[in-house]
Amino acid sequence: MAKIKPSQGSPYARIMGVGGYRPTRVVPNEVILEKIDSSDEWIRSRSGIATRHWASPEETVAAMSVEAAGKAIANAGIRPEQIGAVIVSTVSHFRQTPAIATEIADKLGTGRPAAFDISAGCAGFGYGLTLAKGMIVDGSAEYALVIGVERLSDLTDLEDRKTAFLFGDGAGAVVVGPAKEPGIGPSVWGSEGDKAETIKQTVGWDEYRIGDVSKLPVNTDGEVKFPAITQEGQAVFRWAVFEMAKVAQQALDAAGISADDLDVFIPHQANMRIIDSMVKTLKLPEHVTVARDVETTGNTSAASIPLAMERLLATGEAKSGDTALVIGFGAGLVYAATVVTLP
SS3 176: strand
Running DSSP on this structure, what letter comes out for residue 216? S
Gap between the Cα atoms of 190 and 202, Å rounded = 24
- Residues pairing with 184 in the sheet: 340
Residues annotated as part of the active site = 122, 268, 299
Nearest-angstrom CA–CA distance, 85 and 145: 6
Torsion angle defined by CA atoms of residues 130, 133, 139 and 143, in that order, rounded to the nearest 10 degrees: 120
- Please tell me the distance from the alpha carbon of residue 197 to that of residue 229, in angstroms, as a whole number: 11
- Dump strand ranges (E) for the chain: 12-21, 25-28, 51-54, 83-89, 114-118, 143-151, 169-179, 188-191, 199-201, 229-231, 264-267, 289-290, 323-330, 334-341
Q: Radius of gyration (Cα) for the chain, nearest Å?
A: 20
